[in-house]
A and B are shown apart, each in its own frame.
Chain A
Amino acid sequence: MILGLHLAYWQTSVIRSLGVLVAVLLPAGTFVYIFLFKMVSFMQSRLGPMEAGPYGSMQLLAEVGKFIQKEDIVPDNADRRLFKLAPYLVVATVLLVYLVVPFGPKMRFVNFDGGIFYALAVSSISALGVLIAGWASANKYSLMGGLRAAGQLIAYELPMVLAVVGVVIQAGTMNLSGIVAAQANGKMFGFGGLGNPYFITQFVGMVIFLIAVQAELTQTPFDMPIAESELVTGYITEYSGMRFLLFFIAEFAAVGSFAAVAATLFMGGWAVPGIKFDSGVMNVLGPIVLMAKMTLIAGVIFFVRFTYPRFREDQLQKFAWTILIPVALANILVTTVLKVAF
């Protein structure tokens, strides 16, 4: 039952499948245009794309058209089947994350009790696709990129999961809708006017989560897997045309999915203070609110990407294992003590 309409199971299924595509492609395209094309251009005192459409807003469509026309080249020595499979595996992991993200009290694809756990598990599978892509390309740069990516994704998976545990303890549920409700109905030290958005009470967790997200997305301070001055472009070196486009979409759709998860975990998801959080109007307003919060978080991700120079490979591993993980564990301990105490 949405907006008074009663739909059959297959109708809701079709709408949900289309909804996932919209939920994936719309934020990804928006972020590429706003941040990758325009923000970075302004940061570097240039205009960026201006020709295609007003202020170059159709540039992305032109790029997609270009990639679709290009030849799909498979290297002679490549392992053909795995080479072709890898991009789909990476894209699929991104699409699957969106399944559990709620966009409103009823605007969600699945109401899943293991929500956040599922999102983290599915996103960890992209390491597999990257590793397969690097190996199947039969190229030493690709292989090095794939190995670096896998090592990095495994190392930063752990602080990410540990940072989320703090939120789960505080909310008392892994269901993302439940976490939204816990933040909307919560109280900060007896004051309930703003709810209890966890970017205040779980600040340490949010910082660790966002750093780990930056590494999981292989965005710039952590972009050793595709370090262009060392490895050409790492595991995507041999890809061209449509398959390259799939990796590109996966990268920016993953920014969107992690931004959506972070917005839900730490910024109250689709809820806004002042409007009753489960009222019907939030089914329409919720997606817009969530998208605004996602854009904010993606803005932080891209700002860091365009500001900081790249870490060295050993610095990256050391940072994860000696700083992030101990801090995340301490955060869990403190959260548990406070949860029991209050």
Chain B
Amino acid sequence: MGLIVAAARNADAPVLVAQNIAFGVIAAIMVFSAFRVVTTRNVVHAAVYLVMVLSGAAAQFVLLGAEFVAITQLLVYVGAIVVLFLFGIMLTRAPIRGEERATRDSWPLGAFTALVLAGLLGYSLTNGFGGDRLPRYCTTAAPLAGSCLSPSGTRAISDAIFSTYLIPFEVTSLLLLAALIGAIVIARRD
């Protein structure tokens, strides 16, 4: 919904055809995979579909010129978190060929949560950024100016993290550290 509004408001902007087509294809794959994550009854298949959703998100970041975010998405989510998911599933149940099936008993609650989340996110995106325009691609004249979409955001992101967003960044790492210590405390038996 937010996307349609944003598209309508940007109707007169120059169109990047290839980028839009790629966005549509990737988005379609992501939506399909996201549905399969919750509809498939095999837990491992669900995890593999989740990989497709997460890689799709990384691909969208690449399309937006945010390569650092895209690579982080791959490294953290696909390379580590899903692998840990699969690791846990295979250590505990690993249902090969219908021995054990995932249940879908709580789907009304899940659907409700998904709808509320979609509504909230859509509203906040439209409300916050609906009037914005995507920045133009950078020319060689102003490669790192703030108003244009730089194809290499790595430097810009690191500058932002370690200056403007330093405190949120440190607080987040403290939070993660606390979670880590909590996990160790729970896992320790002695």
B79 to chain A, nearest CB (A): 3
Closest 5 CB pairs of A and B: A124-B79, A121-B75, A113-B152, A121-B74, A138-B96
Bound-complex Cα distance A118 to B67 (A):
9
Bound-complex Cα distance A136 to B158 (A):
40
Q: A82-B48, A118-B71, A147-B91 are in contact. Are A125 and B78 (CB under 8 A)?
A: yes
- Flag whether B53 is at the interface (Cβ < 8 A): no
Interface string of B117-157 (1 = CB under 8 A from A): 00000000000000000000000000000000000101100
Q: A79-B96, A132-B48, A143-B90 are in contact. Are A124 and B75 (CB under 8 A)?
A: yes
Check if B154 sits within 8 Å of A124, measured CB to CB. Answer: no
Check if B74 sits within 8 Å of A135, measured CB to CB. Answer: no
Q: A114-B68, A143-B90, A150-B86 are in contact. Are A121 and B79 (CB under 8 A)?
A: yes
- Flag whether B97 is at the interface (Cβ < 8 A): yes
Would you give 21 A-B contacts (Cβ < 8 Å), ordered by A?
Answer: A77-B96, A79-B42, A79-B44, A112-B67, A114-B68, A118-B67, A121-B72, A124-B75, A124-B78, A124-B80, A125-B74, A127-B83, A128-B82, A134-B90, A135-B44, A135-B94, A143-B90, A147-B90, A151-B87, A153-B83, A154-B84
Interface residues of A (CB under 8 A from B): 77-79, 82, 112-114, 117-118, 120-122, 124-125, 127-128, 131-132, 134-136, 138, 143, 146-147, 150-151, 153-154, 157, 174
- Flag whether B51 is at the interface (Cβ < 8 A): yes
Check if A131 sits within 8 Å of B96, measured CB to CB. Answer: no
Given contacts A82-B44, A114-B71, 16 further A-B contacts (CB under 8 A): A77-B96, A112-B67, A114-B154, A117-B68, A117-B75, A121-B72, A125-B74, A128-B82, A131-B86, A131-B87, A132-B44, A135-B94, A138-B97, A143-B94, A153-B83, A157-B79
Interface residues of B (CB under 8 A from A): 42, 44-45, 48, 51, 67-68, 71-72, 74-75, 78-80, 82-84, 86-87, 90-91, 94, 96-97, 152, 154-155
Chain B residues with CB below 8 A from A134, complex form = 90
Bound-complex Cα distance A134 to B45 (A):
14
Bound-complex Cα distance A95 to B72 (A):
19
Chain A residues with CB below 8 A from B97, complex form = 77, 79, 138
Chain B residues with CB below 8 A from A113, complex form = 67, 152, 154-155
A320 to chain B, nearest CB (A): 14
Bound-complex Cα distance A134 to B90 (A):
10
Chain B residues with CB below 8 A from A138, complex form = 96-97
Bound-complex Cα distance A154 to B88 (A):
13
Chain A residues with CB below 8 A from B96, complex form = 77-79, 135-136, 138
For B42, B74, B83, the residue with the greatest tally of chain A CB atoms inside 10 Å of its CB is B83
Bound-complex Cα distance A117 to B67 (A):
10
For A120, A128, A138, A157, the residue with the greatest tally of chain B CB atoms inside 10 Å of its CB is A128
Chain A residues with CB below 8 A from B72, complex form = 121
Chain B residues with CB below 8 A from A150, complex form = 83, 86-87
B84 to chain A, nearest CB (A): 7
| Nearest-neighbor residue (CB-CB) of B158 within chain A | A174
Chain A residues with CB below 8 A from B152, complex form = 113-114
| Nearest-neighbor residue (CB-CB) of B55 within chain A | A125
Set A82, A128, A147: member contacting B79, Cβ < 8 A:
A128
Q: A114-B154, A135-B96 are in contact. Are A127 and B79 (CB under 8 A)?
A: yes
A143 to chain B, nearest CB (A): 6
A172 to chain B, nearest CB (A): 10
Check if A154 sits within 8 Å of B74, measured CB to CB. Answer: no
Q: A82-B44, A157-B79 are in contact. Are A128 and B74 (CB under 8 A)?
A: no
Set B45, B75, B83: member contacting A131, Cβ < 8 A:
B83
Bound-complex Cα distance A121 to B82 (A):
13
| Nearest-neighbor residue (CB-CB) of B86 within chain A | A131
| Nearest-neighbor residue (CB-CB) of A127 within chain B | B83
B62 to chain A, nearest CB (A): 10
Chain B residues with CB below 8 A from A77, complex form = 96-97
B143 to chain A, nearest CB (A): 11
Check if B75 sits within 8 Å of A154, measured CB to CB. Answer: no
Chain B residues with CB below 8 A from A112, complex form = 67
Q: A79-B44, A132-B48 are in contact. Are A117 and B91 (CB under 8 A)?
A: no
Bound-complex Cα distance A61 to B154 (A):
43
Bound-complex Cα distance A318 to B1 (A):
51
Check if B86 sits within 8 Å of A121, measured CB to CB. Answer: no
Bound-complex Cα distance A114 to B72 (A):
10
Set A82, A117, A122, A157: member contacting B80, Cβ < 8 A:
A157
Bound-complex Cα distance A82 to B5 (A):
39
Bound-complex Cα distance A79 to B71 (A):
30
Chain A residues with CB below 8 A from B87, complex form = 131, 147, 150-151, 154
